[in-house]
Amino acid sequence: MHLDSSQEKLLRGEGGEAKQFAMEVVTRVGDAVGAGSLVPIKSAHVLAHYSSLHDAGIEVLERFASSGGKFAVPTSVDPASIDLQNWRSFGVPEDYARQQFRLCDAYAKLGGMRCWTCVQYQVCNFPKQGETVAWAESSAVVFANSVLGCRSNKITAGMDVSCAVLGLTPMFGMLEDENRTATVSFKLNLGPLTDLDYRSIGFFTGRRAGARVPVLEGLPASVTSDEIKHLGAGAAAAGPVTMIHLPGITPGSKTASAATAGEKVEQIEVSRSDLAAVEEDLSQTAELPDLVAFGVPHLSVNELGMLSKQLEGRKLKRGVKMYLYTSGQAYEMAERTGIRDSIEASGARLTHSTDAEISPLKRLGFNTVMTNSAKLAEIVSSEGEIRMRYAAQKSIIEEVTS
């Protein structure tokens, strides 16, 4: 991989230990993926949750922080493994919280934005169309490429902080024009879509597309950014998808033909039976859950408002807890507008700066979790410790409340 003279100096250590370490990481990754050079980025999004990074991740972040590292571009961070404000009331063990806060401290020393969310593009990290970014959150990468018109690869842990410290990322993958063309087409003709349908469509698309870039036709004109958010999260959980062309939404892809650059590609019709198969695949049990989890990715204020209306006048059944995961910014808005009080009158709880996917659910005593998140259902069930149920939001609420 070619480095310019200033990058060569950083690799030799002339910019300090932190930048030298970062250059060692990005050049090795760049060489491994066949990148020709490093290119500037406008922003970064990194991981700092203990459930995935563990003690080794703490050591890496603390090494960057203690050696004088500072983020070179605006940098946001994925949710933590605990509610950073209310963790005690959720029963998080002291030793677990202590390790998470070490990650928080190191991230703060590096100069990151303390927004702790997987939907940074909705609350604190707003790139423009055409900008190159280095984001680690898989669902956010799909949204960035597919809706915002940015360019990002799915950046891994360790590499994410290195890119943020340097303000550089290897030039490969979704940063290159030739890799962004759709090479498989999915078509919908399903009638009205539920909240679960969007997630299941995403999961089906991700699984069938594999490493190919898909174009998805047939979404209703009324589709919201929140629905696309959850669709992309399902796709990224099911496979290595980092971009979905949505004709009329994705910049430069007014039509499916534009998305495929006029080339003929495999066409896949998405049927109701395909979505039913996804639902069956993501459920391991029919028993009453001990936890209902909404908000992977994080819920917006609009989504919280809709949930508050659906929960109005209802009470959770005994033995069931319901957690609604959101960003700190949306949490504060929900407090100011009365949405939080309305939600919690049902016995449910609003929680911020964390989400179920990266929480120590087993240590918190949960064995069966019900959700409408394809991402959560796939990731948690694959770990084998917790049984998952996957269903539509309305049907979940009807089952676990009275």
Range of the domain at 213: 181-272
Q: What is the pLDDT of residue 382?
A: 76
User: What are 283-339's pLDDT values in tens digits?
Assistant: 999 999 999 999 999 999 999 999 999 999 999 999 999 999 999 999 999 999 999
Task: For residues 370 and 233, state if they share a domain.
Answer: no
Task: For residues 263 and 343, state if they share a domain.
Answer: no
Q: How far apart are CA 252 and CA 240, in angstroms?
A: 22
For residue 277, tell me if it sits in a domain.
Answer: no
Instruction: Provide the token pair at 146.
Output: 């597919």
For residue 301, tell me if it sits in a domain.
Answer: yes
Domain boundary among 144, 177, 210: 177
Give how many domains the chain has, as a whole number. 3
Mean pLDDT of 245-253: 98
Give me the CATH number covering residue 94.
3.30.499
Q: What is the pLDDT of residue 270?
A: 98
Task: For residues 75 and 224, state if they share a domain.
Answer: no
Task: For residues 31 and 166, state if they share a domain.
Answer: yes
Task: For residues 170 and 295, state if they share a domain.
Answer: no
In the sheet that holds 266-270, the strands lie side by side as 214-217, 184-188, 266-270
Give me the CATH number covering residue 216.
3.40.1060
Mean pLDDT of 47-76: 97
For residue 190, tell me if it sits in a domain.
Answer: yes
Task: For residues 20 and 157, state if they share a domain.
Answer: yes
Task: For residues 266 and 139, state if they share a domain.
Answer: no
Task: For residues 15 and 159, state if they share a domain.
Answer: yes
Task: For residues 72 and 215, state if they share a domain.
Answer: no
383 pLDDT above the threshold of 90:
no
